[in-house]
C-alpha cells in the first residue's frame, strides 16, 4: 500500500513508459525523415536540418508526456516533466557518444523547452485518462 502512495506522488513507472515511447518515436520519425531525404523528397530541402530534428524531438516529447500522464492518472505534470528531462538527458548522452561538441547554454534552453512541453503534455494526458 505504501508503494501505491509513492507511485501517486512520483509516477516513476509512467515516466519510464512515456520516456521509452518518446525515444522510440524519435527513432522512428528520424528514420522516416532520413529515408525521405535520401529518396529525394523536395520538401526537406527547404527546411534546415536542425529545425526538422527539433520538430521531431518536441513532437515526441508531446507524445511521450501525454502517454505518461495518461498512464499515471495523477500528477501528470510531474510525469510530463520527467519525460522532458529524460529526453534532454538522452540527447546529451547521444551527443557525447557521437563526440559532438555541446553548447551547454543551448542545451539548457532545450531542456527547459522539453520540460515545459512535457508538463503540458502530462496535464493533457491526465485529463484524457479521466474521461475514459
pTM, two decimal places: 0.85
- Considering only CA atoms, which of 15, 97, 29, 92 is closest in space to residue 58? 29
CA dist., res. 72 & res. 53, Å (int): 28
CA dist., res. 125 & res. 17, Å (int): 13
Which residue range forms the structural domain that includes residue 124? 2-130
Give tens-digit pLDDT for 23-49. Answer: 999 999 989 888 887 777 666 656 676
> Does the pLDDT of residue 96 top 80, yes or no?
yes
The total domain count for the chain is 1
Q: Is 48 helix (H, G, I), strand (E, B) or coil?
A: coil
Q: Is 102 helix (H, G, I), strand (E, B) or coil?
A: coil
- Phi, psi values for residue 73, rounded to 5°: 65, -5
Give tens-digit pLDDT for 114-130. Answer: 999 999 999 999 998 87
Q: Is residue 22 a contact partner of residue 64, using CB atoms and an 8 Å limit?
A: yes
Amino acid at each position: 500500500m505504501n508503494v501505491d502512495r509513492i507511485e501517486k506522488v512520483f509516477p516513476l513507472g509512467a515516466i519510464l513508459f512515456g520516456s521509452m515511447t518518446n525515444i522510440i518515436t524519435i527513432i522512428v520519425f528520424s528514420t522516416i525523415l532520413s529515408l525521405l531525404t535520401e529518396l529525394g523528397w523536395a520538401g526537406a530541402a527547404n527546411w534546415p536540418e536542425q529545425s526538422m530534428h527539433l520538430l521531431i524531438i518536441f513532437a515526441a516529447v508531446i507524445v511521450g508526456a501525454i502517454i505518461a500522464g495518461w498512464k499515471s492518472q495523477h500528477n501528470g505534470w510531474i510525469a510530463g516533466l520527467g519525460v522532458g528531462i529524460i529526453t534532454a538527458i538522452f540527447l546529451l548522452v547521444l551527443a557525447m557518444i557521437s563526440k559532438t561538441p555541446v553548447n551547454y547554454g543551448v542545451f539548457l534552453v532545450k531542456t527547459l523547452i522539453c520540460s515545459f512541453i512535457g508538463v503540458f503534455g502530462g496535464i493533457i494526458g491526465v485529463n484524457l485518462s479521466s474521461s475514459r
